[in-house]
Structure formats: structure tokens, C-alpha cells
Chain A
Amino acid sequence: MTPTTPVLLSADKLTCIREDRLLFDELSFVVRGGDIIQIEGANGTGKTSLLRILAGLSQPYSGEVLYKDQVIKHCDDEYKADLLFIGHLAGIKGEMSSEENLAFYLKMHGLDASKAEATLDEVNLFGFEDAMASNLSAGQHRRIALARLWQSQNKIWILDEPFTAIDKAGVKKLEQLMLKHTQNGGAVILTTHQDLSLNSNDFSKIILEHQFF
């Protein structure tokens, strides 16, 4: 990771308060192209809140998130085109088949929706393409959501607990995919309770702690 790669995303003195509790205070960091950043912390330390703030879904109590040196509110369309966020909820419609679900998201990102079927094979959903998502398990919903990563052209991936309900081989595959993504100049920000099996110089950590005052 050379410091010369351009800064994609930067957090500027983010403060988050939820339910009268201070989660983090004046948190600042930068994300450059090629970074994998793992956000660590116990339950309730604000990992999800931080990711939602970075994605622009939540507003911080104070501070700004900047994308290419612009506040994300002011470059909303450009930022959304470069962002892929996968949250706690998979965003999969039970009334549509797995292929239709994936094809919808690909189409919305201007990608080739006909690749949906082949992409589902990557996440071990071969044979489930036409199954209504309401008949599939939560883990399979997650896999459909994660399948978007294989086709993604977005520079920044923000993933909230991507490895929950994914088996070991799947985790390995995802890690390789993240590495490939960063080698192409992308950045990954993720939370996970599992340790990444990547080389320690391939990724950095941000540790959130309980705040007492």
C-alpha cells in the first residue's frame, strides 16, 4: 500500500450518538484505493452505525464523510455510482426468484443482467436460480446479495458482516475476491467478528471501543 494512491473516502471527525450514548467521538481516517479496512469492536460499539454513516444512509452527530474531497451530500450521484453497500438486511424480495433478484440489482447498476445466472454459481446457488427467494434460507439470501460483488464495477465496497452464515470455502473465495478488487484500485471496508486469513499487510484495522464518560 503506497501512500501515493489517491484518497477515495475520508472520515472527518465523525461523532455518533445513539440513544444518548456516545458511540465514537471525532473519528477520522482515510480510505485509499487498494485498502481493505476491517472495523473491529464488541457488539454495540457502533460498527454498523459507522458503516451506515459512511454509506450516507445515516447522518453523523457531527463531522463529515468526504468522497474524493467532496462532502458526499454534494456528490450524491457520483458517490452512489461508485458505492456498493451490503448491510445487515440482504434486500432480497421473497416474491422474486434468486436470479430475478440479482438481475434487478445488476440492471440498476447498468450491468449486464444476463450474467446473473452464471454469477449465482459463484456463490454455490447453482440449481436455485429459479427458486422463489421466500423458499430460501437467510444464508442463501445473503449469498444472493453477495453475488453482486462478482459483477460489481463499484470502487468502494462497504460490507456489514459479510461472512455471517457463509461456510469456510465461501469465506475464502470472498477474501480472494476482495484482494482482487483492491488490486484493481478498489477499496473494501468491512466489519466481521472472524479474523481475516489475509496477510496482515494486506489489510488494516480500525478498533471501536466502548466509550465511558
Chain B
Amino acid sequence: MQLSYRRAFSTILKRDLVIAFRHRDDILNPILFFIIVVSLFPLGVGPAANTLMKIAPGVIWVAALLSTLLSLERLFKHDYNDGSLEQLLLMPCPTFVLVLAKITAHWLITGLPLIIIAPFLGVLLNLHQDSYVALMLSLLLGTPVLSLLGAIGVALTVGLKKGGVLLSLLVLPLYIPVLIFATGAIDAASMNLPYNGHLAIIAALFFGSLTLAPFAVGSALKVSTN
């Protein structure tokens, strides 16, 4: 019997969230990494307020990017190792529904906490007061892109024993446009310039990857489980 896409989506999403909450390191590690990296910068660079203000957008975004990269592996790795992945691929629902549900769960577990913590870390780095809205908006649109694009890389490398380095090589170049436009938006906001253009490009990246990445991930998973 075939399930409606919505029920299939919510069933898989719920399963992934339950697993993540019972396996808390998976949630806490990327967040702690994010906090540690950002809070080390004022110590390393020195507490000069102007310097910190200048590097704040870049530091927060690079840390967010790396912490997402750190958490990517768990997206499919456990499921691959215990055989759930091949079972999921054989479930009577299209692969893109399954993939989208898993990516959504990944974003809720890693992306959303980053967005919630980011403004506090902004204070730590003396982020310009006009930049907070831009920071939040760029993270809100940008972190899903990181999850979606990262999923393609993980799906391609999930069958490899040591795919970690290859994964970063595959995924990081794809992250660079998001990084450039996100930090650009925050910089523009600090100078009281309009940053709609930057956000529009990140939004375009978001919708582009939202519609296309699930299909790429689905095909990549089929290759990896072959």
C-alpha cells in the first residue's frame, strides 16, 4: 500500500529526530564546536573592538560552515552501516521524499541550533548592531543550503571506508558562494547599505538546491548502495 508523501515524510522525519535526541552527542558536538571556534577568536586576535567587528561576519559563517561539515557524515552513515538505508530505499515512497525528510531532520538538528546561538556569539565578537537581522536572515536561508548540498557529498561518499577528506573536498567548493554572499550581506548591513541583493542570491541558491539536490542525493545513494 502506498503512503501519501506527507505521511511518509513525517514518519521518516519523526524517526530521525527520535534517533538524534537519544544520541545526543550528534546534536551537541557541532554546536559546541561552533561555540568554541567563535569564542577562541577574540582570544587569538586580541580584544580590539574594531578588529573583531570587522572579522565577526566571516568568523561566524566559517564556523557555521565547518560545524555543518562536521555533522554531515551522520546524515547517512549509520543508516548505511546497519542496513536501514537499503530498507529506506526500498520503501514504497519516492526516494526524493525520503531524502528530503532526512535532510530536514539534519537541518533541524544542526542548522536551527546554530541560528539560535549565532546572535549571542555576535555579541561576543562585537558584531555591528545593524548587522544582526542580516546575520539571522543569511543563516536562515544559508544553513539549509549547507545541509542540502552537503547531503549530495555524503551520499556519494557513504560507501567509502574513509570518505571524510574526500567529502570536504567535494562539498567545500560548493559552500563558497553561500559564504561569500552571506558575509557580503552582513557587511553591507553594517554599512547601512541595502543587502536584499545578497539575500536574493542566497534564496535562489536555497530554492535551487531544495528542488534539485534531493534527486541528486537519491541517485547518489543508489550508486553507493550498489
Interface centre among B3, B81, B87, B225 (most CB of A within 10 A): B87
Question: What's the Cα separation between A11 and B84 when bound, in Å?
Answer: 26
A57 adjacent to B225 (CB under 8 Å): yes
Interface residues of A in 93-118 (CB under 8 A from B): 93-96, 100, 104-105, 107-111
Interface residues of B in 193-226 (CB under 8 A from A): 225-226
Across-interface contacts of A111 in B (CB, < 8 A): 1
B3 adjacent to A110 (CB under 8 Å): yes
Query: Is B169 at the interface (CB under 8 A from chain A)?
Result: no
Q: Which A residue's beta carbon lies closest to that of B83? A: A89
Q: Which B residue's beta carbon lies closest to that of A82? A: B92
Question: What's the Cα separation between A112 and B92 when bound, in Å?
Answer: 15
Interface of chain A, helix or strand or loop or mixed?
loop
A57 adjacent to B92 (CB under 8 Å): no
Encoded as 1 (CB less than 8 Å from any A CB) or 0, chain B from 128 to 170 comes to 0000000000000000000000000000000000000000000
B83 adjacent to A91 (CB under 8 Å): yes
B2 adjacent to A57 (CB under 8 Å): no
A81 adjacent to B87 (CB under 8 Å): no
Contact-residue bracket for chain B: 20 to 34
Task: Say whether, besides A77-B2, A104-B15, A87 and B92 are in contact (CB < 8 Å).
Answer: no
Task: Tell me how far the C-beta of B74 lies from the nearest C-beta in chain A, rounded to whole angstroms.
Answer: 12
Query: Is B43 at the interface (CB under 8 A from chain A)?
Result: no
Across-interface contacts of A56 in B (CB, < 8 A): 90
Question: What's the Cα separation between A19 and B15 when bound, in Å?
Answer: 36
Question: What's the Cα separation between A57 and B83 when bound, in Å?
Answer: 12
Set B15, B84, B92: member contacting A109, Cβ < 8 A = B92
Query: Is A31 at the interface (CB under 8 A from chain B)?
Result: no
Query: Is B6 at the interface (CB under 8 A from chain A)?
Result: no
Interface residues of B in 1-26 (CB under 8 A from A): 1-3, 7-8, 11-12, 15, 18-19, 22-23
Across-interface contacts of B82 in A (CB, < 8 A): 89-94
Across-interface contacts of B92 in A (CB, < 8 A): 77, 80-81, 108-110
Query: Is B53 at the interface (CB under 8 A from chain A)?
Result: no
Task: Tell me how far the C-beta of B88 lies from the nearest C-beta in chain A, rounded to whole angstroms.
Answer: 8
B binding-site residues for A, Cβ under 8 Å? 1-3, 7-8, 11-12, 15, 18-19, 22-23, 78, 81-84, 86-87, 89-94, 225-226
